Amino acid sequence: MQKIALITGITGQDGSYLSELLLKKNYKVHGFVRPNYNKNNLKSNWRIKKFKRKIFLYKVHILDEEKIKRLILKIRPDEIYHLAAQSYVDYFKKVKKNNTFDINFRFTKTILQVIKKNNIHTRFFFAGSSEMYSNKIKSKINENCRFSPSSNYGLAKLKSYKLLKTLRKKYGIHASMGILFNHESPRKDTSFVLRKISSSVAQIKYGFKKKIKLGDIKSKRDWGHAKDFVKAMWLICQQKKPDDFIIGTGKIHSVEQFAKLAFNHVKLDYKKYIEIDKTLIRKGDSRPRVANITKIKKKLKWKPNITFNNLVKDMVDSDLKRYIKR
């Protein structure tokens, strides 16, 4: 029997890769999109345009509890992947901080309450974040480390997880969390630094741009590829018993390393094209959070397959193709 999946955030980086994975596994894929979604607008569709006709999309405001309930009861998904969230990163500065917390938590709460109150037999995956942890932890972060978020984004994720854990324990809901560390791809928004670099490398190579402004290029992260991460999400939902897992690579690299590899890929010297802009340096961006993926490797036999070097190559090659068409 064909399985049915519902994905929130389906037009985003993770949602689009997850959709492709599930379609290959013969799932019927449904997704929630924003109310201002325009099926004819490339900006809304560029990540899903190749398979858009194979999936079912519904315009939903993330605070419209009645519509969310009605659609979940109509779709009756076997698996729900809750990936949508309002990010805390700099390009959301226009949004009030409290809104980030309220919106993210209320959306998760609504979905979980629909599952509980209507006794829907579905498996729920919640996309947690490394932002739920302090950036002062010296060792690699595992599932037993204490949560200590410093952003409203991280706080909302933590409160959502506490609700998930309560409902799982009290009502037996099959609800799991994947704690996602940084993951990138050609489908990442250019507001994020690695995609900003790969996009700029292509533009500089073709003469559309002369320089790229960056902040702290010594800043380090545990960066993986989104394609690997969505495989982990699916594996988590296939377990008989719900559980929580760290998803990362366990390795760290700097922004400078990415930039050097990206420019080298097009035979350019990165030092000639980077300008340091101190206004782009994020405050409190000190020790990097690094994932300990022992549990997910042991229990789910999952590990990242795409290396950092291949992540760089994939992103730069994709942007080279994108800009050569212009």
| pLDDT value for 281 | 86
Active site residue 153: yes
| pLDDT value for 231 | 98
**In whole angstroms, what is the distance from residue 254 CA to residue 274 CA?**
15
| pLDDT value for 95 | 45
From 27, 88, 153, 161, the catalytic residue: 153
**In whole angstroms, what is the distance from residue 244 CA to residue 174 CA?**
11
CATH level 3 topology of 4-183+223-247: Rossmann fold (3.40.50)
Active site residue 129: yes
| pLDDT value for 284 | 63
- Enumerate the domain spans of the chain: 4-183+223-247, 188-221+252-289+306-324
| pLDDT value for 53 | 95
Task: Enter the tokens of residue 256.
Answer: 């400078």
| pLDDT value for 141 | 97
Active site residue 143: no
From 19, 87, 129, 160, the catalytic residue: 129
**In whole angstroms, what is the distance from residue 84 CA to residue 108 CA?**
9
Q: What is the CATH number of domain 188-221+252-289+306-324?
A: 3.90.25.10
What stretches in the chain show pLDDT beneath 70? 87-98, 284-286, 325-326
Residue type, 138: K
pTM of the model: 0.94
Mean per-residue pLDDT of the chain: 93
From 20, 27, 81, 131, the catalytic residue: 131
Q: Say how many C-beta atoms besides its own lie within 10 A of residue 307's C-beta.
A: 13
**In whole angstroms, what is the distance from residue 82 CA to residue 220 CA?**
28
